[in-house]
Amino acid sequence: MTIEWRYTTRPGLGVLSLAGYLGTEAIGRFTGAIGWVRARGSGPVILDLTQLRGWSAEGQLAVSEAARRLAAEDRPLHLAAIPADGSLVPADGHPATTVHGDLASALAAHGATGTAQRQWRSDAWPATPAPRAR
């Protein structure tokens, strides 16, 4: 099982949305999506996990690594709507990551009132939100 992603730029920030399961098999695809974000955006990045069904400890570490890579470019990573248990495995030496309850509150925290400017997505990005496991 892997993930699908959608990256949307907004004035002053970007939103990377994930759908599926972020486990060992999906880390390469996630890392590629982060590369896409780094090449095509600027400012803070909100990682929207609203449609993520879950993540493994390895997937969580990949998120921590992405936060480190983005922080090196002065681009903080914020998480929105993390999966059910609300945990995130911290990685030593990686920056602290702000967690928001949902995408709307993450956008509000950044004063993001503008509409999407550009959007890219993987081929199988879901047309409708999938139900999340609780």
Average pLDDT of span 115-127: 81
Q: What is the pLDDT of residue 134?
A: 43
Q: 82, 97 in Cβ contact below 8 A? A: no
Q: What is the pLDDT of residues 59-81, one digit of tens each?
A: 999 999 999 999 999 999 999 99
Is the domain spanning 3-121 CATH 3.20.20.105? The answer is: no
Domain ranges of the chain: 3-121
| pLDDT higher than threshold 90 for residue 129 | no
**Residue that wins the pLDDT comparison between 90 and 48:** 48
**Residue that wins the pLDDT comparison between 33 and 97:** 33
Q: What is the pLDDT of residues 23-62, one digit of tens each?
A: 999 999 999 999 999 999 889 999 999 999 999 989 999 9
Question: Taking CA 87 as the corner, what is the angle to CA 81 and CA 89, rounded to the nearest 5 degrees?
Answer: 120
| pLDDT higher than threshold 70 for residue 119 | yes
Question: Taking CA 104 as the corner, what is the angle to CA 80 and CA 92, rounded to the nearest 5 degrees?
Answer: 20
